[in-house]
């Protein structure tokens, strides 16, 4: 059981180019939509599809937001996709 939990939290090896490409996609989506409710709902649905394979969670309490950090001059210096996922239990995954 401990192995399942440890494997869940272990980061998969991902090439830095793939990480950069994913970050760019998120930035482009954010720039084009400015975090519109439609895009956030699409992201939420995709997250649900993926994590449902690995854990049981409270779907009603799942929150997905885009947050912004602004500089003193009012320009956005960073944005983040924040997902709050209340996990009930980790599912057993067959090997």
Model's pTM, two decimal places? 0.52
Task: Give me 41's structure tokens.
Answer: 């709902």
Residues 11-31 have pLDDT tens digits of 666 677 777 777 776 666 556
pLDDT tens, residue by residue, 40-64:
788 888 988 999 999 999 988 888 8
**Cα distance between residue 47 and residue 33, in whole Å:** 18
């Amino acid at each position: 059981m401990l192995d399942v939990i440890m494997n869940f939290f272990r980061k998969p090896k991902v090439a830095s180019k793939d990480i950069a490409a994913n970050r760019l996609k998120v930035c482009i989506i954010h720039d084009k939509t400015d975090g519109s409710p439609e895009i956030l709902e699409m992201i939420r649905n995709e997250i649900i599809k993926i994590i449902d394979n690995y854990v049981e969670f409270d779907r009603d309490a799942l929150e997905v937001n885009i947050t912004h950090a602004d500089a003193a001059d009012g320009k956005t210096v960073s944005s983040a996709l924040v997902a709050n996922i209340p996990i009930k239990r980790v599912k057993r995954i067959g090997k």
